[in-house]
Chains A and B, each alone.
Chain A
């Protein structure tokens, strides 16, 4: 960017301030209108894209991702649906929920749940909600038991609520005899009963949950506690709450940033300009997002929260500088020209580096993260554009008298404020103890390296809620009572899937026995509370056909015997249940795996255990095992995210380094510039490893943010250091001025933004808290490492950094960056 462009721009903004402001207002309103009109009146603006919201974490993977294609395919083939899990627990009654009153309520709740369907707006004439046919509940499943000698009975397990205590207890006894129900429908202690409500689509789960909670609101004082959980509920509820949170968190962050700025600058009108820039940038970006047809996803909902502080950042630099300079001249035109002259180039480059940091997210294989990164990069650019045009124009439009009293009173600002005095002392200390600072830095780097080695990659959508959130509580309680509320499925499919494959392999006894062994191994992982398969079904029916003795609980010895056992089973009320476990051609089977934990690393452990089992025990037929289910999809996208983020981080590191080398026309200076951010990222991630915080989605995304932000302070510092050195002719003499205005600007920046993100801590959603804490930590660490490490390094490397310094002959390049 040449100086001419920069001056003419500034000239325009300061000479035609009104036009500048109007241009920005009109452009912003036009964008917002383009986004809002089709959202409010979709029928009248059919050509434009309306606002579409997508709260589905499955979309973290693109829809043609093999694991999703397979997942959808298997869900279809086995008629599986995502499920809401409802648990009713009674701890006060000695019989648990198996008392007349509780079972009547559970019966009624089941009937009610079976009606939870609504017209599907996308498919007129169709309904969405609970899939009644596939509900699992005491009153909806078949019991199979002995009746008298030589007779077996298929009947509803609980056709109607019992009238007596004995009838109630008999239901428990019957249910526990059926392996498919034990620990899935009823808990071992009889305290709890579960309902499994399959949904036509998982984004119905919030609505279903709300309706159920309404229904059971009158259950107080009955001793029955109702808990609702399951991954779809957690994901959908998070999506809903996320939008409330956006409406609270982003404005609250703005308010706190505003207050912090007011504390430093004490001039409402001036700091309002920074807030306007932030809002224009955030609103325009979100508008562009909508116009482009991108969906507002969990990630993109955070875009305003990210853009606002970054947008304020440059404005704070300008205001801080103006704050210090204005009292010297008492002429805003001259002051603003001076300020912009100093800051234009560093601001441009900090913007470019921040953009590079976020744009690098486009390198990840995760579509919502790509959208997130690209649009923040756009937002950062818009913020920069507004900052360099609107802020000078805004200042020019203010009546001069309004500026009276702004800035430091006459005198040396370095001595007048606590911060000023403290920074000055810091500067002297760092320069005289440069070696000590570097030793401490090395210690931090080593500790960080150790911490990073401890990093635990893990995520769990249920843990996106605070520990006392009803969904977390439900999750804990139900997973204590049952085999698990987290669902994964293991598909057993023919190897190569060729048509010549032996037909009906899943009627073969040795294959079914292998499945049973495989299930046993999964159960030994400690995470799988329960698994259900066609083998369990065959064994149960076989036992009842042969008189109900435990010894008959086995797979019969021929495929025909298996087929006849299953045909007998299909004479019940729910013949279709068989097809959840095996396809009608008996060429594919599915094992329903219930996990007590939704942690991705636990799922990974199960996957590993299975791989080991299969390696040691090759299957008797040429079948291969492939996972699907929401829990498994989460693991896949997490893996992609981690490797993708590493790629993005590396890519943006290289880009930023090149930009820095270009900015300073020196590889050495460029490398120097990268040091604070490297230390910052290392320290932050080292800390994550040491305190044992999971490396999850928000933490991964923050790496890009820290890269983009941490380098800003270094650019400002080094650009000014070079300019000051050129002015004073020596680094020694530059230290004092450097720890004047520039250091104050960096410190104010770090404090304003760090504090500004703390309101996110009040959010009930853990990812928001994580973002709040880590942005604050990143900003403070980056500010600190810039102010400590850079001066120490410059002191030690000055011979190479300022080769011509002693001759005090500023070269043309220095001139260009110097104060005019």
Chain B
């Protein structure tokens, strides 16, 4: 693969973002001075995981291995935030968050459901419902860097890594991007030495994340492949995660995206695992 490929992709993506008419949000933009790294990271975090009070998307997941063998999955993901604001000031947007994942395809796992209660200050809670065994199981999840349903994405990539877990440093500001280097505060708990995030200046969407291991090798890469504005929110509608060690790639394609649906809180409870809330799943 050409080493210039990322640059051209970035440029394309930048054009897409501009074409969509995403207006600059950052306050310091006009002055030309970069905002503080904390502000950049917080805004990127908010844009990626907390936009709107809640949201829904249908996700087509395609997992391809080095040999080109592809497995497809289809899920619907519901999200509901605890905080009622998206304000960056005082990290007001951050708080408890709940995810409900409903499996549609392949047929033999359809109606499987997964519930995640994401906490800011302690381990997440996870429940899994296996219809074929008629079994609801609580899954202890002390480690969020495990595979999300067999894909190259980790749970943490889907629901967001706590920005308090890393120290952040703005290492570069280009025409289109802030490049932030993130180093783990507790290196023993993660497999990376650091990761660099390319955050789009206007939308604050992270469009590329590169994970580097202790030997200095890039081994994992996230790329946002397409961005659309949905209900005024810039939203990644296609993303890819590559495992450069084993050649695996997972692509997520989002469709039917809706924000601010007023999803009731009790949908995100154990009893809805067995009985999927169809009215909210489209």
Contacts and interface: CB of A to CB of B under 8 A. Distances in A.
A559 B128 CA distance: 18
Contacts of A565: 130, 133
A558 interface: yes
Given A77-B67, A160-B188, A584-B71, A568 B140 contact: no
A160 B141 CA distance: 17
Interface stretch (B145-153, B172-180, B192-200): B145-153
Given A153-B142, A563-B108, A575 B147 contact: yes
Contacts of B67: 76-77
Contact of B130 (A507, A561, A585): A561
Contact of A571 (B108, B139, B248): B139
Interface stretch (A144-152, A240-248, A407-415, A483-491): A144-152
Contacts of B282: none
A156 interface: yes
Contacts of A564: 108-109, 112, 130-133
Contacts of B133: 542, 545-546, 556, 561, 564-565
A222 interface: no
A215 B66 CA distance: 33
A797 interface: no
B246 interface: yes
A571 B146 contact: yes
Interface string A555-589: 01011110111011011111110110001110000
Interface in A259-279: none
A155 B132 contact: no
Interface of chain B, helix or strand or loop or mixed? mixed
A585 B137 contact: no
Contacts of A70: none
Contact of B109 (A133, A147, A542, A567): A567
A573 B188 contact: no
B109 A560 contact: yes
Contacts of B107: 560
A473 to B, nearest CB: 33
Nearest to B154: A573
B281 to A, nearest CB: 19
A115 interface: yes
A572 B147 contact: yes
A204 B132 CA distance: 46
A510 interface: no
Nearest to A578: B150
A132 interface: yes
A514 interface: no
A151 B123 CA distance: 14
Contacts of B109: 560, 563-564, 567
A150 B149 contact: no
Interface string A593-633: 00000000000000000000000000000000000000000
Nearest to B138: A151
Interface string A62-77: 0000000000000011
B139 to A, nearest CB: 6
Given A133-B245, A567-B112, A584-B65, A561 B149 contact: no
Given A154-B146, A575-B150, A579-B65, A568 B130 contact: yes
A282 B67 CA distance: 47
B215 interface: yes
Contact of A567 (B69, B137, B150): B150
Contact of B146 (A148, A556, A573): A573
Contacts of B137: 150-152, 545, 568
Contacts of A79: 65-66, 246
A564 B128 CA distance: 10
A115 B109 CA distance: 38
B147 A571 contact: yes
A140 B188 CA distance: 13
Given A133-B245, A570-B149, A584-B69, A561 B138 contact: no
Given A507-B108, A563-B106, A570-B147, A546 B140 contact: no
Interface in A137-187: 147-148, 150-156, 159-160
B150 A571 contact: yes
A570 B130 contact: no
Interface string A365-397: 000000000000000000000000000000000
B128 A568 contact: yes
Contacts of A575: 147, 150-151
A572 B107 CA distance: 22
B150 A570 contact: yes
Contacts of B112: 564, 567
A148 B123 CA distance: 15
B140 A152 contact: yes
B108 A559 contact: yes
Interface string A493-527: 00000000000100100000000000000000000
Contacts of A579: 65
Contacts of A152: 137-140
Contact of B140 (A151, A560, A570): A151
Given A563-B109, A571-B139, A545 B130 contact: yes
A159 B187 CA distance: 12
A384 B149 CA distance: 72
A560 B131 contact: yes
Given A153-B139, A564-B109, A572-B147, A115 B215 contact: yes
Contacts of B145: 573
Nearest to A154: B146
B15 interface: no
A154 B132 contact: no
Contacts of B131: 560, 564
Nearest to B69: A584
B152 to A, nearest CB: 9
Given A560-B109, A561-B130, A563-B108, A546 B143 contact: no
Interface in B77-134: 106-109, 112, 128, 130-133
B135 interface: yes
A574 B246 CA distance: 12
A115 B219 CA distance: 14
A563 B103 CA distance: 13
B108 A560 contact: yes
Max chain A C-beta neighbours (<10 A), residue from B106, B131, B137, B145:
B137
Contacts of A542: 133
A563 B139 contact: no
Interface in B195-251: 215, 245-246, 248
A791 to B, nearest CB: 70
A543 B141 CA distance: 19
Nearest to A579: B65
B114 to A, nearest CB: 9
A561 B71 CA distance: 18
A402 to B, nearest CB: 68
Max chain B C-beta neighbours (<10 A), residue from A147, A151, A156, A160:
A151
Contacts of B248: 576
A148 B130 CA distance: 19
Contact of B245 (A132, A504, A568, A578): A132
B130 A571 contact: no
A564 B150 CA distance: 12
Nearest to A147: B140
30 contacts: A115-B215, A133-B246, A148-B140, A151-B139, A151-B140, A153-B139, A153-B140, A154-B139, A154-B146, A155-B140, A156-B143, A504-B108, A545-B133, A545-B135, A556-B132, A559-B108, A560-B107, A560-B131, A561-B132, A564-B112, A564-B130, A564-B131, A564-B132, A567-B109, A568-B130, A568-B137, A571-B146, A571-B149, A573-B147, A579-B65
Given A546-B133, A560-B131, A564-B131, 4 more contacts: A79-B66, A152-B139, A155-B140, A546-B135
Complex A-B, nearest 7 residue pairs according to Cβ-Cβ distance, in ascending order: A570-B150, A561-B132, A560-B132, A153-B140, A563-B108, A151-B138, A575-B147
Interface of B: 65-67, 69, 71, 106-109, 112, 128, 130-133, 135, 137-143, 145-151, 155, 188-189, 215, 245-246, 248
